[in-house]
A and B are shown apart, each in its own frame.
Chain A
Amino acid sequence: MIPKDRYHNMMTANQAVAIAAVRAKPKVIAAYPVTPQTTIVEHLACYVAHGDLDSEYVRVESEHSAMSVVAAAQGTGVRTFTATASQGLAYMHEVVSACGGMRLPIVMFVANRTLMSPGGIWPELSDSMPERDSAWLQIYVEDNQEAFDMIIQAYKIAEDSRVLLPIMICGDGYILTHSTEKVEILGEKEIDGFLPPYDPIHVYLDVDRPIAQGLIVPPAYHMEAKWQMHQAMLKSLEVIQEINDDFAEKFGRDYGGLIEKYLVDDAEKVLVTIGSTTGTAREVVDELRDKGEKVGLVKLRVFRPFPKKEIKEALEHVQSIGVFDRSISYGSAGQCFLEVRNAMYGTQMPILNFIAGLGGRDVRDKDIEFMFDKLKETEILEEVIDPVVFVNTRGVTS
């Protein structure tokens, strides 16, 4: 049994996410195993069996069905939860893409893992990045505590009447999902106070008030619905910030909202990071600062919607920017890089893109140091010809 009151324990992100889901009290959970997410649905099976959570636990036969079950259940007016990774997310893609337009505030955890081929079970963002255009909010977490906190916040964000869009909380596979660290589990009552029981305000299936969802919509009516989805996405920027601030005030953990700035204000060179690598980068920034180098860090938390304004405001004054991506859009560049450069449009800032950690390759201290060293080269460059740099790659960089 999970203690009802606030407690601390050593746990993986997967356990923290499963307990966060229990605290959020979803009425329907769809479960299908996929590495490295699997232990989430294992934990949830036990919590439901032991009475920690009163929920319909549907042991579906595929991820495609997992997302179908939660979408239809959410559409019938209840809070839901599911989790997936990699091929599983790709397999459920067509259902994932249907949820935004139906304005279903579904919460899903994605344990980021590489998408084949080459195959692998290790961390990479090539699973969730292709979903950036699926009308889901995306928030990437750095550690296990943030994974717990953001699942709780995710329900509040998605269910806000200004948003009503699905949300995926993404965390690096293995680095978070299978590594143990101390996590503070908030108590049931205090979370109930922060996240009240679900009261569907969006349209939902009810025989006393027949409505239709997911209809075929001809060109004459189509664009307005999509414009509304875009507006809701943009609106969610302020909602995410509000809920971050509310959470910080109540529970004392402030993630900065859309981005987290670390020693940026007087920095000359700044690295933009996403996911668990931020922890390593923060250490390196500290070490370089000790040596007198004016370096800083921006942690990208929210990828959809993209906090364009906040990025530009944070980085306008620096001399050069490096953007770390644990995924790449082949033939173009890393997805974070493309967004950051777009946000910096109009400035003449040199921006480099560091592709590292693909397929789960370690991103080491010296790789981060390499990135900052590389940024020094931009001081003598008149123009960045090819901004994409593969880090720690045999025959390319070593």
Chain B
Amino acid sequence: MKLKELPDDSPYTPGDKACAGCMASNIAINVMKILGKKTIVSVPPCCMSVFAGIFPAINWDVPYFHMQFANLASTITGISRALKAQGKDDVIAVGFGGDGGTADMGLQALSGAAQRDEDIIYICYNNEAYENTGVQASGSSPYGSWSSTTPVTNGGTGNEYFPKDIPRILIAHNSTYVATAATSHIQDFISKVEKAKNLRGFRYIEVLSVCPPGWKVPTDSGPQLVEEAVDSGYWLLFEYEKGHLTINEEPKFEGLREFLSKQGRFETLTEDQYHTLEEFYKNRWKIIKNYQVNNDI
């Protein structure tokens, strides 16, 4: 499907209560345009459950199931198994989860569903912190970043940990389909969601989601920042399918310093921390690159 072939209407309908400039709405709109109306959606507690799922006005024009924080993967498993038991083979069970629910407390259920190759699509919109509760660091927050639980004080330096690599954890499960995506590379994004739609088994797509209040950036900066994230090697674009990893976009490794300096959450990053980050992203690239190199060995 080409960008211009995307339908105008999305089963994720307009008028949600997301913050100005939130990229998560954008992700939901576009994913649902591709998946269509024969879809059952589940969302755990996260930004999206609040800005699109409060009674009596919700934004989902498809069946919607709101469950708990740690069980998105097992919840959509239950939906998927019930659909199978009823012979409804043409209905998709999809979950939209934030990075906290995915990388932290939801990891156990996610791992179980991946191991069993449950017939589900799991979309993680990764805004790199517990943004819904007011910007607390999550297992997927970047090193050196400010959050309300990694305060920057005279002696403090923001987040002391590095983000968990969920796609790589799921690749280690030999999952059916694992991909990363970015809204700036929309054609790549469309192809990945479409591919996931047409496959059967466990499918996971993680999309970078700019959060203006959490990242401390202007509300109109999201699309540009996503593009810079890809160019700088901060966000890699790849997909893993049936044991085969493909890199979709070679990072230029340009502009990391500029990309970080535009974000208030990195305001107090020291020079040492910057070099640590630079090294971290280059190393991550090497690891992913090695997967591709070793594909046919």
Bound-state CA distance A206–B91 (Å) is 9
In the complex, which residues of chain A have a beta carbon less than 8 angstroms from the beta carbon of B38?
Answer: 207
A to B contact number (C-beta, < 8 Å): 147
Bound-state CA distance A203–B75 (Å) is 17
* Residue in B55, B77, B86 whose beta carbon sits within 8 Å of that of A217 in the complex: B55
On whether the beta carbons of A215 and B68 are closer than 8 Å, the reply is no
Interface flags for B66-90 (1: CB within 8 Å of A; 0: not) read: 1110110111111101111110000
CB-contacts of B21-58 with A (<8 A): 37-40, 42, 49-50, 53-56, 58
* Residue in A72, A216, A217 whose beta carbon sits within 8 Å of that of B42 in the complex: A72
* Residue in B61, B78, B91 whose beta carbon sits within 8 Å of that of A73 in the complex: B78
Q: Smallest distance from the beta carbon of A265 to chain B beta carbons, Å?
A: 48
Bound-state CA distance A218–B56 (Å) is 9
Pick from A14-22, A55-63, A307-315 the stretch touching chain B.
Answer: A55-63
On whether the beta carbons of A55 and B85 are closer than 8 Å, the reply is yes
**In the complex, B116 has a CB within 8 A of chain A:** yes
On whether the beta carbons of A212 and B109 are closer than 8 Å, the reply is no
Bound-state CA distance A27–B40 (Å) is 19
On whether the beta carbons of B111 and A75 are closer than 8 Å, the reply is no
On whether the beta carbons of B86 and A212 are closer than 8 Å, the reply is no
On whether the beta carbons of B37 and A207 are closer than 8 Å, the reply is yes
Q: Smallest distance from the beta carbon of A50 to chain B beta carbons, Å?
A: 18
With A28-B85, A215-B53, A216-B49: A58-B77 Cβ-Cβ less than 8 Å: yes
In the complex, which residues of chain B have a beta carbon less than 8 angstroms from the beta carbon of A59?
Answer: 116
Interface flags for A210-231 (1: CB within 8 Å of B; 0: not) read: 1111111110010000000000
**In the complex, A90 has a CB within 8 A of chain B:** no
With A64-B70, A68-B74, A215-B53: A76-B64 Cβ-Cβ less than 8 Å: no
**In the complex, A98 has a CB within 8 A of chain B:** yes
Per DSSP, chain A at the interface is mixed
Contact residues on A (Cβ < 8 Å of other chain), bracket: 35 or more
Bound-state CA distance A61–B111 (Å) is 9
**In the complex, A65 has a CB within 8 A of chain B:** yes
On whether the beta carbons of A206 and B63 are closer than 8 Å, the reply is yes
**In the complex, B62 has a CB within 8 A of chain A:** yes
**In the complex, B189 has a CB within 8 A of chain A:** no
Residue of A nearest to B63 (CB): A205
In the complex, which residues of chain A have a beta carbon less than 8 angstroms from the beta carbon of B74?
Answer: 60, 64-65, 68-69, 72
On whether the beta carbons of A216 and B55 are closer than 8 Å, the reply is yes
CB-contacts of A175-220 with B (<8 A): 205-207, 210-218
**In the complex, A71 has a CB within 8 A of chain B:** yes
**In the complex, A78 has a CB within 8 A of chain B:** yes
* Residue in A27, A72, A214 whose beta carbon sits within 8 Å of that of B85 in the complex: A27
**In the complex, B112 has a CB within 8 A of chain A:** yes
Bound-state CA distance A163–B128 (Å) is 43
On whether the beta carbons of B79 and A75 are closer than 8 Å, the reply is yes
With A77-B86, A207-B40: A28-B67 Cβ-Cβ less than 8 Å: no
In the complex, which residues of chain B have a beta carbon less than 8 angstroms from the beta carbon of A70?
Answer: 78
Residue of B nearest to A55 (CB): B85
Q: Smallest distance from the beta carbon of A355 to chain B beta carbons, Å?
A: 34
On whether the beta carbons of A210 and B62 are closer than 8 Å, the reply is yes
CB-contacts of B73-127 with A (<8 A): 73-79, 81-86, 91, 108-109, 111-112, 115-116
With A27-B86, A210-B64: A71-B75 Cβ-Cβ less than 8 Å: yes
On whether the beta carbons of B68 and A68 are closer than 8 Å, the reply is yes
Bound-state CA distance A71–B112 (Å) is 17
Which of A28, A65, A70, A216 has the most chain B CB atoms inside 10 A of its CB?
A65
Q: Smallest distance from the beta carbon of A62 to chain B beta carbons, Å?
A: 6
Could you list some 7 contacts between A and B, CB below 8 A?
A30-B78, A65-B77, A68-B71, A71-B75, A98-B67, A215-B58, A217-B54
Q: A27-B85, A60-B112 are in contact. List 11 more A-B contacts (CB 8 A).
A: A27-B86, A65-B74, A72-B78, A76-B86, A205-B63, A207-B39, A207-B40, A210-B63, A212-B65, A213-B66, A216-B55
